[in-house]
Amino acid sequence: MSQVTIGKDANDGFVLSVNMDIAIKGVETSTAKQIVEEAHDVCPYARATRGNIEVITNVVG
């Protein structure tokens, strides 16, 4: 599940934040965390928005 929120920055401008809860069935949590980190590094969307929006990834069991 993902949640996107809109907030304000220090200059009273708008900013986006994304919080993703990620579950990978049949995969141990430590392995899932590694997969998520590696995917976030190569994902075109993540690369395009890196430094522009806060992204929080949570691996859930």
The CATH code of the domain that includes 46 is: 3.30.300.20
pLDDT number for residue 35: 96
Give me the sign of the Cα torsion angle 50, 57, 1, 19.
Answer: negative
pLDDT number for residue 61: 79
By residue range, what is the domain housing residue 48? 2-59
How many distinct structural domains can be found in the chain? 1
What the block records as the tokens of 41 is 């590094």
- Between CA 7 and CA 58 the distance in angstroms is 20
Residue 10 is classified by DSSP as T
**List of E strands, 1-42:** 2-8, 14-22
pTM over cut 0.85: no
CB atoms within 10 A of CB 27: 14
- Give the pLDDT band of residue 15 (cuts 50, 70, 90): very high
Write out pLDDT tens, residues 19-60: 999 999 999 999 999 999 999 999 998 999 898 899 999 999
What the block records as the tokens of 54 is 């806060």
